[in-house]
Chains A and B, each alone.
Chain A
Amino acid sequence: MSKILKSALLGTALTAATATAVMAEGVELEVTHWWTSGGEAAAVAKFADAWNATGNTWVDGAIAGSGGTARPIIISRIIGGDPMAATQLNHGRQAEELIEAGLLLDLTDVAEAGGWAEIVNPSSLLDACTLDGKIYCVPVNIHSAQWIWLSHAAYESAGLDVPTDWNEFTASAGSLKEAGILPLAMGQQGWQQNIAFGAITLAVAGQEAWNGVNIDKNADVARGPEYTAAFEAVAAARDLAAESNVQDWNMATNLVITGQAGAQIMGDWAQGEFSVAEQVEGKDYSCLPGLGLNPVIDTGGDAFYFPVNDDPAITAAQKELAALLISPEVQVSFNLAKGSLPVRGDIDMSTANGCMQKGLEILANGGVLPSGDISFSQDTTLQIEDLQAQFWSSDMSAADAQAAYADIIANAD
């Protein structure tokens, strides 16, 4: 009997050994993300191809819906003890508590080996991944929100020149209206209205005031005259967008593409929609970073986090993947497909289109800001978005909105 038992045990041990050997050769890593639209899926395939080329296996865990849908699923899986091997999140404070609870893998050794401190540009991206001097995420791209997209077709049919900054745009809005064109397309959702609010304040109130509120969280600046002017400008923009009754951002972008609306304030991801519609930058549409007034962009974006795992083989593979995501070739192929800016300044992006080149130039000149994801907690962000949603959909006065905004900033964390 003992013989049978022994051979059985031996067999099991052998199988286990083979299994481990196979694991060491190629590790399956499940990666969750919310990149599901056409351009995004093409971009994430670049990551998957690069990872599969190393002999490992990329198990794609795409979660449909936006970050708002996917993030709770991802976080509850990590908290609930069923972690994936790697996951997309927006870098910044979304993962702060997960790090504090010790649920995410410390990547400091990988970062030091790869010299991330030297290559990541702007360095604020790496700071956003850092907590108590340790690095917990790999930034993979930069998305900025301070862009206005203008439809050439709309301006042609109204017989006007395409504006080159926000002031020219507001001046032309009356004529657009007369020509039966909606001046400003706006999806009726808080986060989109908040993007417009952020871009307009940056252009109107100036960067100093913007920094005072968004970085120093100084409520007095938010009550100050610069912000009064900014809120009045936003109230004026609200009138320009009054007839816009679409919800989703890409529906609003579509109004610009089809020439039904003059412009939209939206992040650089809107470019993907113009590309899909086969429009040419400079001929069919224009893009103005910082609304053409103040050429600075924020540096939000996506980063990958790696939940802590018991299996040393998986931990090793996680670190390997982290190094791969930021390697030059992968950065170029991924960001060209995604339409976002790369996180390192030392690579050749000459094949990028006009809008991306504008963004790269601003990055090279150092005109960068931290994004809302980095400076505010999710809680504060949602409060600001709620206020914007309320302000844009009602006739709330600029002064009331400013007072409410200052209260949120005073209690912000």
Chain B
Amino acid sequence: MTVPSVPPTLSGKRPSKLFKNWMAKMASLPMILTALVVFVGGTAWTVTYSFTGSRMLPRTKWVGLDQYERLWSSDRWIISITNLGIYGICSLILTLFIGFTLAACLDRKIRFEGVFRSIFLYPFALSFVVTGLAWQWILNPDFGMQSVVRDWGWTAFSFDPLNNPDIVMFGLLIAGIWQGSGLIMCIMLAGLRGIDEDIWKAAKVDGIGTVKTYIMVVIPMMRPVFVTALVLIAAGIIKLYDLVVAQTGGGPGLSSEVPAKYVIELMFRAQNLGQGFAASTMMLCSVGIILIPWAYLEFGGRKRG
């Protein structure tokens, strides 16, 4: 952090930059302190203790990189990050695609737009735990979708993702997208409404088709909206935890484990704080690897321009 180095001037003619808007700065002081102590301080503490052999209670018994070695040789951790990768990529693409498509459909000035908007946004009002349980029941082979379709006569129909280790992540993905795409749709819709009517008129005059206008003209204009949506989706992916706990409990076996669950279980069930801290530090690093280049491109570029 850089501290403004301008000393308060005694002349009084040109007040220091530090005291400019001092009321506003005073008001935001509690938040600045919270951010420093809770977020930065907490992060530093966690990273520091990830180099210790802390078990149930934090202790300064230094073990170097042992926790990280164990982490990366643990099957469960490797499974967890692979799962997060699969879920993350699919969820990012599908949520953006579905969200934008739904928004574009609603944007065509259809009837009962408000009703549809509420229906699509409704899942977002539910907690992940409710979503997870509901989809656990829907995907249950004995009571849910599979049995309903079989009752209709397709007796060979088989759809049982939650009990199949190979495709269980897609069972989670369905629930995640069902819940998340409504919000993205609303953000996209707001973005679409912000596009000037004249653009559409111009496109029409030039004889460009509707779909082509969306892809070639409207989407590039909606860049800030997409960035917002992207950040929201990415944050949701990294902290994926409650959905897994409610829907599969990480099973069958370890096949739907995720990093956040690894952290919680190691810290509180295995009573191994050091290992949990090492895993959460790795999560922080992964966020950093994605976020820093993006922030550089996004904000660094603007300054130059």
Residues of A within 8 A of B (CB): 68, 71-72, 75, 79, 94, 96-98, 101, 188-190, 245, 247, 377-379, 381-383, 386, 389-394, 404
Contact = CB atoms under 8 A, between A and B. Distances in A.
Given A79-B57, A98-B56, A389 B251 contact: yes
A79 B271 CA distance: 13
A379 B55 contact: yes
30 contacts: A68-B269, A79-B57, A96-B56, A97-B55, A97-B56, A101-B57, A188-B251, A189-B249, A189-B251, A190-B254, A245-B141, A245-B160, A245-B163, A247-B249, A377-B271, A378-B271, A379-B272, A382-B269, A382-B270, A383-B270, A386-B75, A386-B76, A386-B254, A389-B250, A389-B254, A390-B254, A391-B253, A393-B253, A393-B255, A404-B75
B165 interface: yes
A382 B264 CA distance: 12
Contact of A379 (B141, B252, B253, B270): B270
B269 A393 contact: no
Contacts of B269: 68, 71-72, 378, 382
Contacts of A72: 268-269
B265 interface: yes
B63 to A, nearest CB: 13
Nearest to A68: B269
A393 B57 CA distance: 33
B150 to A, nearest CB: 16
Given A378-B271, A379-B271, 10 more contacts: A72-B268, A75-B56, A96-B56, A97-B271, A189-B251, A378-B272, A386-B254, A389-B253, A390-B253, A390-B254
B275 interface: yes
A97 B251 contact: no
Task: Give the 4 A-B CB pairs with smallest separation, nearest first.
Answer: A393-B253, A72-B268, A97-B56, A382-B270
Interface in B38-58: 55-57
Given A98-B56, A379-B271, A390 B251 contact: no
Contacts of A404: 75
A263 B57 CA distance: 41
Given A97-B55, A97-B56, A245-B163, A393 B252 contact: yes
Interface centre among A101, A390, A394 (most CB of B within 10 A): A390
A101 B271 CA distance: 15
What is the interface residue range for chain B against chain A? 20 to 34
Interface in B219-256: 249-255
A379 B275 contact: yes
Nearest to A72: B268
A188 B271 contact: no
Contact of B165 (A75, A190, A381, A393): A393
Nearest to A395: B165
Nearest to A98: B56
Contacts of B265: 382
Interface of B: 55-57, 75-76, 141, 160, 163, 165, 249-255, 265-266, 268-272, 275
Nearest to A97: B56
Contacts of A245: 141, 160, 163, 252
Nearest to A93: B271
Contacts of B275: 379
Nearest to B165: A393
A377 B272 CA distance: 10
B165 A394 contact: yes
Contacts of B251: 188-189, 247, 389, 393
Contacts of B271: 75, 94, 97, 377-379
A71 B272 CA distance: 14
Contacts of B56: 75, 96-98
B57 A394 contact: no
Contacts of A378: 269-272
Nearest to A380: B270
Given A72-B268, A379-B275, A188 B57 contact: no
B43 to A, nearest CB: 20
Contacts of B141: 245
A192 to B, nearest CB: 11
A94 B271 CA distance: 8
B155 to A, nearest CB: 16
Nearest to B162: A245
Contacts of A79: 57
A194 to B, nearest CB: 12
A96 B272 CA distance: 13
Contacts of A75: 56, 268, 271
Nearest to A100: B57
B268 A188 contact: no
Interface centre among B141, B252, B275 (most CB of A within 10 A): B252
A67 B262 CA distance: 18
A394 B268 contact: no
A97 B265 CA distance: 18
Nearest to B255: A393
A12 B69 CA distance: 61
Contacts of A392: 253
A75 to B, nearest CB: 7
